[in-house]
Structure formats: C-alpha cells, structure tokens
Structure 1
C-alpha cells in the first residue's frame, strides 16, 4: 500500500485545510471553524511550523492526527 507523505509546508497546510473542510459537515464542530480559519490565514507566520512538521515525513493520516491534536490542545 502506498501512503501519501506530507513532505512540504504546503502539504501540511493543505492537510490542515482538508481537516477544516471535514469539520464543516457535523454541526457540532461549527464553533471551531473560525479558529481553524485564523490559523490557516496566518500561513506566513506559521510556515516554520509547517516546515518542521513536513520534515518528519509523516503519512497524510499521521499529519492529520497531529494537526488535530495541536488544534484541540489550543482550542480548549
């Protein structure tokens, strides 16, 4: 089985955007949309973070899970 790996900051940012889009479906998660949108809009400031995550060579699912954990740790 071939896994897509997040190898660049753009891959990590796209993973975060996909995560945000997934949250648009269940109405219980609507309150998190503005937080994710702000995080995504700060792309320039966050580039070093996305690059650091990308250097880990995570699969898309691992990256998705990591971003989810980071987001919810900051949202609570």
Structure 2
C-alpha cells in the first residue's frame, strides 16, 4: 500500500517546515557549558530532521511492481 500523492506533498511540507524552524531556532553562540549544551541540542535537532526526511524519502519510493 503506497501513499497518495497529497500525502507525499504533506510530508514534504512538514520536512521543509522542520528544516526552516530548526535553522531559525539556532540562537547566537553562547559561552562555556551553555555552548556545549547548545551544540548537542542543535545536533539532536538536525539528526531528527535528517531521520524524518530519510523516512519520508523511503515512503516516496515507487513500488517496483508498479502498484501505488
């Protein structure tokens, strides 16, 4: 069972929104321990974005049997 085209479009919009939100939420560079914490937070956000996008791409792949 594949996704309907409108579902794939919605998933693209979600991924784009997450991408732009993650970039906008990254604040000015802090100092010391706060800088280390923020680095890990940014890494986790970007990891979540890439994980979601890779899952979306897997669901988008056409069925090799030609079925929707």
Band of TM-score, shorter chain? 0.3 to 0.5
TM-score (norm 2): 0.32
- Greater RCO, 1 or 2 (C-alpha within 8 Å, sep 6+): 2
Could you say which structure has the larger radius of gyration? 2
TM-score (norm. length: structure 1): 0.30
